[in-house]
Amino acid sequence: MDGTSAADTAGDIAATRTLAVVIREAVQKTLVGKSAAIDLAITALFARGHVLIEDVPGTGKTTLSKALAGALRCEFGRVQFTPDLVPADVLGVNMFDMNARAFEFRPGPIFNQVLLADEINRATPRTQSALLEAMQERQVSIDGETRQLPNPFFVVATLNPVELEGTFPLPEAQLDRFLLRLELGYPDAREESAMLERFERGIERDSGSPVAGPADIARAQDTVDTVSVDSKVRDYLLAIVGQTRSDSRIGLGASPRAALALQRACQAYAVIDGRGYVMPDDVKALAGPVLAHRMNVESAARLRGVTAAAVIADILQSVDVPIEGTAG
């Protein structure tokens, strides 16, 4: 790489880091705190992935999703998933126009650049599966005709815990389409106090104007492509993935697609931190959010309270961290 190219790349990385900061600040005008969760959502966006937000009701899942969409100058659609929702409500449908004597396609909300799939596991598996092709291939097939989705295409889905009434577990193939899964958790005392103060008058304050458009997002995604991954860091990542396949507590370990997803997420995470190379700390930070929802814990271990996140934490403790060669 010549000097000019290196300078251009460094400038692109700096600009992308600044964009991430601006998006985070815009989201935090609505959502108090939660910088780590917001950064994970931005990571998925910059990595051309999708994000799944899982937590109990009332912790801010939909608030984060709407605030993130509001920060982006993109076409936005929202689907409230319910048991009576059918695939056509998401994808669209061909309607017969009596005047033109021809079928006319009426696109569904999935043809937006940012789609909020709220409470996705309240819909039936048939409707959930309608998102599969769209999220992976960025296209949908309706009545034998394939239609391309817009660019960028970013799905933010919220998920209630499967123990709650009226929920359907997402199949493994559906979960695998989400680059990462995050949990918001309850706010600490300071954040909750700030939230109460902000909404004291019972209305949400204006979150401001969108701060990033499709061209900005496309440039950020292209910049992520330039981030290097040293061979020692890649071996470290693969060692972690490999351990998920051999751990006796795990019935189904992380797939090769999961390894690719983890590397891609680490590249985006590095750019948000202003770096053009991946560090082992990036892998450690993202192993849980990227891998846990792609793993199945054995039923006996699950009865003992073992979770995929706990297994990954144990694996991170056991795998040696590379000391040298972290920069590209």
pLDDT tens, residue by residue, 2-31: 454 777 788 899 999 999 999 999 988 887
pLDDT score recorded for residue 325: 47
pLDDT tens, residue by residue, 127-150: 888 887 788 888 888 888 888 999
H/E/C letters for each residue in 162-178?
A: CCCCCCCCCCHHHHCCC
DSSP helix/strand/coil, 138: coil
Q: Which of left, alpha, beta for 296 (phi over 0: left; psi -120 to 50: alpha)?
A: beta
When mean pLDDT is compared across 191-195, 206-210, 279-283, the lowest value belongs to 206-210
Res. 328: pLDDT tops 50: no
Strand arrangement, sheet containing 180-182: 76-80, 114-118, 154-159, 51-54, 180-182
**Angle between helices 35-46 and 214-224 in degrees, nearest 10:** 80
Give the mean pLDDT of 182-195: 75
Rg (CA), the chain: 21
Separation of alpha carbons 16 and 155, rounded Å: 21
- In order of their start, the domains of the chain are 1-201+210-226 (3.40.50.300), 227-322 (1.10.8.80)
pTM for the predicted model, two decimal places: 0.87
- 170 with 120: CB under 8 angstroms? yes
How does residue 236 score in pLDDT terms, banded at 50, 70 and 90?
very high
pLDDT score recorded for residue 136: 83
Separation of alpha carbons 157 and 77, rounded Å: 12
Mean pLDDT value across the chain = 86
**Angle between helices 35-46 and 3-27 in degrees, nearest 10:** 130
Phi/psi of residue 252, each to 5°? -135, 110
Q: In the numeric block, which tokens belong to residue 140?
A: 């949908």
Separation of alpha carbons 170 and 287, rounded Å: 21
pLDDT score recorded for residue 17: 95
Higher local confidence (pLDDT), 204 or 70 = 70
Which single residue is written with the structure tokens 């059918």?
86
When mean pLDDT is compared across 30-39, 199-208, 236-245, 290-299, the lowest value belongs to 199-208
How does residue 224 score in pLDDT terms, banded at 50, 70 and 90?
very high
Q: Which residues fall within 8 angstroms of residue 286, CB to CB, at 6 or more apart? A: 40, 43, 180, 262, 265, 266, 269
Does an H or E element contain 286, and which? helix 280-291
Higher local confidence (pLDDT), 35 or 60 = 35
- 253 with 246: CB under 8 angstroms? yes
Peptide bond preceding 152 in cis form (omega within 30 of 0):
yes
Res. 192: pLDDT tops 80: no
Give the mean pLDDT of 103-107: 85
How does residue 199 score in pLDDT terms, banded at 50, 70 and 90?
low
pLDDT tens, residue by residue, 255-305: 999 999 999 999 999 999 999 999 999 999 999 999 999 999 898 988 898
pLDDT score recorded for residue 233: 97
pLDDT score recorded for residue 130: 80
pLDDT score recorded for residue 161: 72
21 exposure class (CB count in 10 Å sphere: 0-12, 13-18, 19+):
middle
Which single residue is written with the structure tokens 């009545």?
143
pLDDT score recorded for residue 327: 47
- DSSP code for 212: B
Separation of alpha carbons 238 and 256, rounded Å: 9
Q: Which residues pair with 79 in a beta bridge?
A: 117
